[in-house]
Structure 1
Amino acid sequence: MTELDKGPTGRRRGRGARERILRASQQLFREQGIGGTGMDQLCAEAGVSKRTAYQHFAGKDELVAEYLRRFDPSVLSGVFDRADLTPRERILAAFDVAPTTPLCPYIATAVELHDPEHPASQYARDYKRAVAVRLADAAREAGAADPQQLGEQLALLIDGAAARTRVINADAFPTAAAVAAVLLDNAITAGDAR
């Protein structure tokens, strides 16, 4: 940060405040959890006043929902929109997650909030449903006998691998990918038999 970015009191100017708040929320919510992060700490990390934070977000609930929206608003487009992969390869690419990736922010948020009506819980639920739909669409393209069921099974495998990786501190995604390949191949064979 240069001196031009600072106001007369030495604090950062308002320009870019929303982005700084969101960056700080991504860091702090991941490291400390939503409940463990107070607005005072978040504002200090972002270099903004609480007044500025509340000008951009009506409250912490709105900030948490926007925090989730920023992760993947297009629902795994880096996987499902790849034209260079077959539908089967796209499905298996969804399991190609770096072992250092922290627990899925959607799962972590829903677990921590305990409120199914919280805007962030609703967003997490919608996102998880959208992942299952994208998996089902790819399964349909691959020729699966029951693409909706397979999409739900594969979504469950992804979420289970994310949780298991976090709990046992070891990468569970390779095993989940192997199970996914078996499910996928069985579903495609059953679809071919029709």
Structure 2
Amino acid sequence: MTKLEKGPTGQRRGRGARERILSASQQLFREQGINNTGMDQLCAVAQVSKRTAYQHFTSKDELVTEYLRRHDPDTMPEIFDSAELTPRERLLAAFEKPPSVPPAETTPLCPFIAAAVEINDTDHPARRRAHDYKASVAARFTETARQAGAVEPEQLGEQLALLLDGASVRTRALDTDALPTAAAIAAVLIDNALPAEAPG
């Protein structure tokens, strides 16, 4: 029988260590940033030893990259893959506050933007992941804009991606929800980009 390791609090730890580490990283990176979160604190919150943490992740860099990879691997599928919404409705739904955020709280800063700001090394795997994710958001907007019949879907896709990122940063900087304003602007951009309906 494999001996279970005792964590920092002396409790027996099982196979869920990796998931607890990732869960702790999600909480701490969101609340206090990547650079301000040390491995000692992360291990304490995850209730694992540093030895266990480094068995699952060879470095903090690897942990940060996996944290981003798991955050939204398919680029908002609950919105862009929804069969219940029209393409136009999907474009606007991207500007709604996620259900996971309590009504009284502002939307947290996008973790991919946070990683890009905190990590200066453009070759860092987490920085590359942030780059790829942001490119995928614009691509998803563009694809949906094309489905909606936009005259210039690439332009609309880039405009909406930029608007969404701006709302995320402004929300964080001012501690107020900028998404409703962004949604109103998005509606104007979308309506201007879609062909006018012929009068009945």
Q: TM-score normalized by structure 1?
A: 0.91
Q: Could you say which residue in structure 1 is the equivalent of 2:186?
A: 180
Q: Show CA shifts across 1:28-55 (max 9, x none).
A: 1111111111111111111111111111
Q: Could you say which residue in structure 2 is the equivalent of 1:18?
A: 18
Q: Distance in 2 between matches of 1:31 and 1:12?
A: 27
What is the letter of the counterpart of residue 109 of structure 1?
A
- Structure holding more helix per residue: 1
Superposition misfits of 4+ residues, deviation over 3 angstroms: 5-9
Q: Show CA shifts across 1:78-109 (max 9, x none).
A: 10111111000000000002552211111011
The alpha carbon displacement at 1:70 in A equals: 1.7
Q: Could you say which residue in structure 1 is the equivalent of 2:42?
A: 42
Q: Could you say which residue in structure 2 is the equivalent of 1:138?
A: 144
State the superposition RMSD in angstroms.
2.0
The alpha carbon displacement at 1:7 in A equals: 4.2
Q: Equivalent of 1:110, from 74, 94, 116? A: 116
Q: Could you say which residue in structure 1 is the equivalent of 2:82?
A: 82
Q: Show CA shifts across 1:150-169 (max 9, x none).
A: 10110000000000111111
Q: Distance in 1 between matches of 2:181 and 2:43?
A: 41
**Structure 1 gap ranges (5+):** none
The answer (yes or no) to whether the contact 1:14–1:52 under 8 Å persists in 2 is no
Q: 1:58 to 1:190 in 2, by over 3 A?
A: farther
Q: TM-score normalized by structure 2?
A: 0.88
SS at match of 2:18: helix
Q: Distance in 2 between matches of 1:85 and 1:168?
A: 31
Q: Distance in 1 between matches of 2:169 and 2:149?
A: 29
The percent identity for this pair of structures is 67
Q: Does residue 129 of the first structure (1) align with residue 135 of the second (2)?
A: yes
**Structure 2 gap ranges (5+):** 99-104
